[in-house]
Amino acid sequence: MSHEFPDRPPIYHDAWRVAIVASEYNSTYVDGLVKFASDELSLLLPESNFATLRVPGSFEIPLGTKVAIETLDVHAVLAFGLLFDGETLHAELIAGAVTKALLDLSLAHRVPVLHEVLVCKTQDQAKERCLMPAINRGTEAAVDVVEADRRIARARDAPANPSCPAVDMIAGLR
Protein backbone atom coordinates (compact mmCIF):
# COMPACT_ATOMS: atom_id res chain seq x y z
CA MET A 1 0.00 0.00 0.00
CA SER A 2 1.34 3.38 -0.93
CA HIS A 3 1.25 6.16 1.63
CA GLU A 4 2.30 8.73 -0.95
CA PHE A 5 -0.26 11.20 -2.20
CA PRO A 6 -0.05 13.36 -5.30
CA ASP A 7 0.69 17.01 -4.71
CA ARG A 8 -2.39 19.15 -4.37
CA PRO A 9 -2.88 21.13 -7.60
CA PRO A 10 -3.61 24.85 -7.46
CA ILE A 11 -7.20 26.01 -7.05
CA TYR A 12 -9.06 26.03 -10.35
CA HIS A 13 -11.64 28.79 -10.79
CA ASP A 14 -13.43 27.60 -13.91
CA ALA A 15 -16.79 25.93 -13.36
CA TRP A 16 -16.58 22.17 -13.71
CA ARG A 17 -19.28 19.54 -13.51
CA VAL A 18 -18.13 16.53 -11.53
CA ALA A 19 -20.17 13.43 -10.72
CA ILE A 20 -19.56 11.14 -7.79
CA VAL A 21 -21.03 7.69 -8.30
CA ALA A 22 -21.13 5.82 -5.01
CA SER A 23 -22.31 2.45 -3.82
CA GLU A 24 -24.86 2.27 -1.02
CA TYR A 25 -23.43 -1.08 0.05
CA ASN A 26 -20.86 -0.73 2.87
CA SER A 27 -22.20 2.82 3.17
CA THR A 28 -20.30 3.71 6.34
CA TYR A 29 -17.03 3.40 4.44
CA VAL A 30 -18.25 4.68 1.08
CA ASP A 31 -19.79 7.74 2.74
CA GLY A 32 -16.34 8.51 4.13
CA LEU A 33 -14.85 8.43 0.62
CA VAL A 34 -17.64 10.70 -0.65
CA LYS A 35 -17.20 13.18 2.20
CA PHE A 36 -13.42 13.45 1.88
CA ALA A 37 -13.65 13.75 -1.92
CA SER A 38 -16.41 16.37 -1.74
CA ASP A 39 -14.45 18.43 0.77
CA GLU A 40 -11.33 18.32 -1.41
CA LEU A 41 -13.23 19.10 -4.61
CA SER A 42 -14.91 22.08 -2.95
CA LEU A 43 -11.47 23.39 -2.05
CA LEU A 44 -9.85 22.74 -5.46
CA LEU A 45 -12.85 23.66 -7.63
CA PRO A 46 -14.78 26.33 -5.68
CA GLU A 47 -16.85 27.50 -8.67
CA SER A 48 -17.95 24.00 -9.67
CA ASN A 49 -21.04 21.83 -9.42
CA PHE A 50 -20.99 18.33 -7.99
CA ALA A 51 -23.67 15.68 -8.34
CA THR A 52 -23.74 12.47 -6.32
CA LEU A 53 -25.49 9.44 -7.78
CA ARG A 54 -26.08 6.49 -5.47
CA VAL A 55 -26.27 2.96 -6.81
CA PRO A 56 -27.11 -0.21 -4.86
CA GLY A 57 -23.69 -1.87 -5.02
CA SER A 58 -20.28 -1.74 -6.66
CA PHE A 59 -21.45 -3.79 -9.63
CA GLU A 60 -23.87 -0.99 -10.58
CA ILE A 61 -21.21 1.76 -10.45
CA PRO A 62 -20.36 1.49 -14.18
CA LEU A 63 -24.02 1.96 -15.12
CA GLY A 64 -24.28 4.99 -12.83
CA THR A 65 -21.07 6.33 -14.38
CA LYS A 66 -22.46 5.88 -17.89
CA VAL A 67 -25.65 7.72 -16.93
CA ALA A 68 -23.63 10.55 -15.36
CA ILE A 69 -21.40 10.94 -18.42
CA GLU A 70 -24.25 10.81 -20.93
CA THR A 71 -26.87 12.91 -19.12
CA LEU A 72 -24.95 15.34 -16.90
CA ASP A 73 -22.24 16.36 -19.39
CA VAL A 74 -19.56 16.04 -16.71
CA HIS A 75 -15.89 16.88 -16.91
CA ALA A 76 -15.03 13.91 -14.68
CA VAL A 77 -16.47 11.09 -12.57
CA LEU A 78 -15.30 9.72 -9.24
CA ALA A 79 -16.41 6.11 -8.65
CA PHE A 80 -16.57 4.93 -5.02
CA GLY A 81 -17.33 1.51 -3.63
CA LEU A 82 -15.96 -0.99 -1.16
CA LEU A 83 -15.73 -4.74 -1.42
CA PHE A 84 -14.45 -7.01 1.32
CA ASP A 85 -12.26 -9.83 0.04
CA GLY A 86 -13.82 -12.98 1.48
CA GLU A 87 -13.41 -16.71 1.07
CA THR A 88 -15.01 -16.86 -2.38
CA LEU A 89 -14.12 -15.21 -5.68
CA HIS A 90 -17.10 -12.84 -5.51
CA ALA A 91 -15.16 -9.65 -4.65
CA GLU A 92 -12.47 -10.44 -7.22
CA LEU A 93 -15.03 -11.03 -9.97
CA ILE A 94 -16.95 -7.85 -9.15
CA ALA A 95 -13.76 -5.78 -8.90
CA GLY A 96 -12.46 -7.04 -12.26
CA ALA A 97 -15.74 -6.40 -14.05
CA VAL A 98 -16.09 -2.91 -12.55
CA THR A 99 -12.49 -2.03 -13.40
CA LYS A 100 -12.87 -3.02 -17.04
CA ALA A 101 -16.23 -1.29 -17.41
CA LEU A 102 -14.98 1.97 -15.88
CA LEU A 103 -11.89 1.96 -18.09
CA ASP A 104 -14.01 1.30 -21.18
CA LEU A 105 -16.35 4.20 -20.30
CA SER A 106 -13.47 6.56 -19.70
CA LEU A 107 -11.84 5.71 -23.02
CA ALA A 108 -15.06 5.68 -25.03
CA HIS A 109 -16.21 9.07 -23.74
CA ARG A 110 -12.77 10.64 -23.20
CA VAL A 111 -13.78 11.60 -19.66
CA PRO A 112 -11.55 10.92 -16.65
CA VAL A 113 -13.14 8.28 -14.42
CA LEU A 114 -11.30 7.89 -11.14
CA HIS A 115 -11.66 4.32 -9.94
CA GLU A 116 -11.81 4.02 -6.17
CA VAL A 117 -13.79 0.83 -5.85
CA LEU A 118 -11.62 -0.59 -3.12
CA VAL A 119 -11.08 -4.22 -2.20
CA CYS A 120 -10.05 -4.59 1.44
CA LYS A 121 -9.21 -7.67 3.44
CA THR A 122 -10.08 -6.22 6.85
CA GLN A 123 -12.23 -3.54 8.44
CA ASP A 124 -9.03 -1.86 9.64
CA GLN A 125 -7.85 -1.51 6.04
CA ALA A 126 -11.23 -0.08 5.03
CA LYS A 127 -11.26 2.34 7.94
CA GLU A 128 -7.75 3.60 7.13
CA ARG A 129 -8.54 4.17 3.45
CA CYS A 130 -12.11 5.47 3.76
CA LEU A 131 -12.58 7.15 7.13
CA MET A 132 -9.16 8.48 8.17
CA PRO A 133 -7.44 11.48 6.56
CA ALA A 134 -3.87 10.13 6.31
CA ILE A 135 -4.35 7.96 3.19
CA ASN A 136 -7.96 8.63 2.35
CA ARG A 137 -8.68 7.43 -1.17
CA GLY A 138 -11.53 9.92 -1.60
CA THR A 139 -9.12 12.81 -1.11
CA GLU A 140 -6.62 11.17 -3.43
CA ALA A 141 -9.25 10.70 -6.15
CA ALA A 142 -10.29 14.35 -5.96
CA VAL A 143 -6.70 15.56 -6.34
CA ASP A 144 -6.03 13.08 -9.14
CA VAL A 145 -9.15 13.95 -11.14
CA VAL A 146 -8.29 17.64 -11.20
CA GLU A 147 -4.76 16.92 -12.38
CA ALA A 148 -5.92 14.31 -14.92
CA ASP A 149 -8.45 16.69 -16.45
CA ARG A 150 -5.86 19.46 -16.71
CA ARG A 151 -3.36 17.20 -18.45
CA ILE A 152 -5.96 15.84 -20.84
CA ALA A 153 -7.08 19.37 -21.69
CA ARG A 154 -3.46 20.34 -22.42
CA ALA A 155 -3.05 17.28 -24.65
CA ARG A 156 -6.23 18.16 -26.56
CA ASP A 157 -4.83 21.67 -27.15
CA ALA A 158 -1.47 20.34 -28.35
CA PRO A 159 -2.27 19.89 -32.07
CA ALA A 160 -3.53 23.47 -32.29
CA ASN A 161 -0.58 24.81 -30.30
CA PRO A 162 2.75 23.12 -31.15
CA SER A 163 4.54 25.02 -28.37
CA CYS A 164 2.25 23.46 -25.77
CA PRO A 165 4.20 21.33 -23.22
CA ALA A 166 1.74 18.50 -23.84
CA VAL A 167 3.30 18.02 -27.31
CA ASP A 168 6.47 16.83 -25.58
CA MET A 169 4.38 14.52 -23.39
CA ILE A 170 2.58 13.08 -26.42
CA ALA A 171 5.81 12.78 -28.44
CA GLY A 172 7.33 10.76 -25.59
CA LEU A 173 4.56 8.19 -25.93
CA ARG A 174 5.40 7.35 -29.55
Kindly state the helix (H) or strand (E) to which residue 39 belongs, with its residue range.
helix 27-44
Residue 61 in contact with residue 33, Cβ under 8 Å?
no
- Residue 23 · residue 60 · CB < 8 Å: yes
Catalytic residue among 75, 90, 109, 115, which? 90
User: Which amino acid does the sequence have at 79?
Assistant: A
Q: Phi and psi at residue 134, in whole multiples of 5°? A: -60, -50
Q: Angle at the Cα of 140 (from 6 to 73), degrees rounded to 5? A: 110
Whether 75 is catalytic is: no
Beta carbons within 10 angstroms of residue 99's beta carbon: 15
3-class DSSP state for residue 19?
Answer: strand
Catalytic residues: 90
